[in-house]
Amino acid sequence: MPDTDLSFASFAFPPALLTALNEVGYETPSPIQAAAIPVLLNGQDLIGQAQTGTGKTAAFALPILARLDFSQRAPQVLVLTPTRELAIQVAAAFQSYARHLPGFHVLPIYGGQSMYQQLRSLQRPVHVVVGTPGRVMDHLRRESLSLASLRALVLDEADEMLRMGFLEEVTFILEHTPETRQTALFSATMPEPIRQVAQRYLRDPAEIRIKAKTSTVEAIRQRYWPVGGMHKFDALTRILEAEDIDAVLVFVHTKTATVEIAEKLAARGYASAALNGDLNQAQREKTIEQLKNRQIDVLIATDVAARGLDVPRISHVVNYDIPYDIEGYVHRIGRTGRAGRTGKAILFVAPREIRMLRAIERATRQPIEPMRAPTRAAIAEKRIGQFKQTVFDAIASEDLEFFGSLVDEMAEERGVDQRDLAAALAWLVQRDRPLQTEPGQDDRPPRPTASDEPRGRFPPRERAAQEPVRERPRYEDTPPPRERAPQARPERPARVPEDVEMVRYRLDVGHAQGATAKHIVGAIANEAGIDSQYIGRIDIYDDFSTVDLPEGMPRELLQHLKKVRFGKHKFNLTAMSQPQIKGLAELSAESVKQLRGSPKPRRKRP
């Protein structure tokens, strides 16, 4: 039985690794971590049976990082995952833990990503490779990936790889690894084929089985909102506007985020503050006291800083960043619903985080219901109610004799009706916080969003990114598609929410480079953190494409998207002017006209 009183400092970790753990908010190891880390640090093979969300990524990543030889150029560690989403997530976790380890390199490889880019990355020093079985096997067959220097192999979610039909690929990869390697196999269940793999390829493994705790939080209403990246802050402000909130605790991963979000909220008029590990005890106590005394209504905190926080007036907990594990989620939402009261918990979930959402539901044995985004009309109605109440409170509690005389004087001086004076004063007070929607807004029901769909479903194009995909190689040396006339068909129609203003951009990739709407959406969503519902119409031409993106995107983000590559080619994202858009439309119309008037379509490139 693992010692649950252990701290991460109890393990033989380098100081740089302990510093990173402190920064990401890790204090004490979870049961799987407490049991697995000592085994893996000793170089022994391991079979770990634990559910998703119990912290098993850190259970194998931390001891692996502690034992790396940074002078070696060839891959020392291979982690196999069933899906590309999990490969990206595991690689990001390695990078986060190793942020203070100089020279560390981790490389995720998976199908659907440019093979040329992966081949080039594998020519550089790489310490850890995280990949899906299909693509790893492709590289082994091409001899672009050598496992001769491999010291450790991790099979993550082995039962899921079996379910997806990857057993043959996993066996092939195991046969191409040195017999001296250390092997760790993690699986939520242990079907017979997985047990046979373990018996054949693992040497005297230690076996650990962690039972998922069935935590219940029945006094708390739990909801999730499918939103990610740059749209999280707008979602948070809508919640603050529309919900009946007494005080709200917002959880994020980093100290920097606590300060940035608190400052942005303060600029919008919210009484907010940051609570993180940089505050000394006196500052922490002062901040909590301000929350209790209603001087602060919104507290943005990290997991570590919020430990032991008990303020009965916290009516809402918002998981701005999804927690690292299930226990963290249960701890977070337990900050509301105190002293017999009911509470509300809201979880922001990006598409690639849907697996964690399902794991939380299974462990807590409670459904987390989808949340409908508040409409502008609902927000305006809430503001009107608050405005009225503020006015009535002032009438009941303040001495208004002087202001009453002033209004009479102004009305008599200019011959203005007192109703018009009151309306003008009301407008002056609320002009920075409108009490009505623009004409035409919300006159009809809003479009269905992910939160309006049946449980567990994202819109069709986002749902496709969530379902496990059997990896298949995509080579860069395939012949380009046939030449086309210069018109474009809408590869992806515009389906963006109506209240989002869009700008059209040009990309320097088209049919000749093998680009598809799926590739463009995937690249922009991953690189910019933009939810795919905010990526609008895409038209693909021979040598370029156009895409509609939300107005007001940060300059730094647009500069980054210029450098994003599709195979050998940069996107070179540039905003189009209205004359350019008009000229493009005329060009396409003329091309269609020529094609219809010709007995044989011209194959010649214009």
* CATH number of the domain encompassing residue 553: 3.30.70.330
Residues in a beta bridge with 570: 565
Q: Has residue 455 been placed in a domain?
A: no
Of 178, 209, 240, the position where a domain reaches its end is 209
Q: Within this chain, do residues 549 and 572 fall inside the same structural domain, yes or no? A: yes
SS3 538: strand
Number of domains observed in the structure of the chain: 4
Q: Per-residue pLDDT tens for 293-314?
A: 999 999 999 887 787 687 889 9
pLDDT at 464: 34
pLDDT at position 443 is 38
- What pLDDT band is residue 1 in, cutting at 50, 70 and 90? very low
Whether residue 527 is contained in a domain is answered as yes
- Mean of per-residue pLDDT scores for the chain: 79
Query: Is residue 470 in some structural domain?
Result: no
Q: Of 259-268, 430-439, 569-578, where does mean pLDDT reach its minimum?
A: 430-439
Residue 212 pLDDT class (50, 70, 90 cuts): low
Q: Which amino acid is at 363?
A: A
pLDDT at 463 over 50: no
Domain contains 61:
yes
Largest separation between any pair of C-alpha atoms in the chain? 97
* Distance, CA of 99 to CA of 106 (rounded, Å): 11
395 forms beta bridges with: none
Do residues 161 and 40 share a domain?
A: yes
* Burial group, residue 90, by CB count within 10 angstroms (0-12, 13-18, 19+): buried
Question: DSSP letters along 129-140, please?
Answer: EEE-HHHHHHHH
Q: Do 505 and 558 have their domain in common?
A: yes
Examine the domain organization and report whether 286 and 425 are in the same domain: no
At 215, is the pLDDT very low, low, confident or very high (cuts 50, 70, 90)? Answer: low
* 382 and 363 belong to one structural domain: no
For residues 344 and 402, membership in a common domain is answered with no
In a domain, 451, yes or no: no
Same domain (yes/no): 253, 395: no
The closest alpha carbon to 353, from 468, 453, 466, belongs to 466
Residue that terminates a domain, selected from 179, 209, 239: 209
Read off the pLDDT of residues 319-363 as tens digits, 9 standing for 90 and up: 999 887 777 788 888 888 765 678 899 999 987 788 888 888 887
State how far the Cα of 243 lies from the Cα of 66, in Å rounded to an integer. 46
Q: Measure the CA–CA gap between 546 and 508, rounded to whole angstroms.
A: 9
Residue 453 lies in a domain: no
Between 223 and 473, whose confidence is greater? 223
Taking the model in full, what pTM does it have?
A: 0.49
Residue 363, domain extent: 220-370
Q: Does residue 472 belong to any structural domain of this protein?
A: no
Interval 399-424 mean pLDDT: 82
In this structure, are 151 and 280 located in the same domain? Answer: no
The answer to whether residue 282 sits within a structural domain is yes
Q: With bands split at pLDDT 50, 70 and 90, how would you rate the model's confidence at 375? A: low
Which of the listed residues 162, 179, 209 is the one where a domain comes to its end?
Answer: 209
Q: Are 407 and 421 in contact (CB under 8 A)?
A: yes
Q: Which residue has the higher pLDDT, 518 or 554?
A: 518
Mean pLDDT score, 103-125? 88
- Which CATH number covers residue 125? 3.40.50.300
Q: Looking at the predicted structure, is the pLDDT value of residue 413 above 90?
A: no
Cβ-in-10-Å burial (0-12, 13-18, 19+) of 589 comes to exposed
pLDDT at 584: 74
**363, 381: one domain:** no
141 falls in which pLDDT band (50, 70, 90)?
A: very high
Same domain for 279 and 191: no
Residue with token string 């203070």: 100
Do 364 and 401 sit in the same domain of this protein? no
Shared domain check, 350 and 237: yes
Confidence of residue 494 (pLDDT cuts 50, 70, 90): low
What SS3 state is found at 182? strand
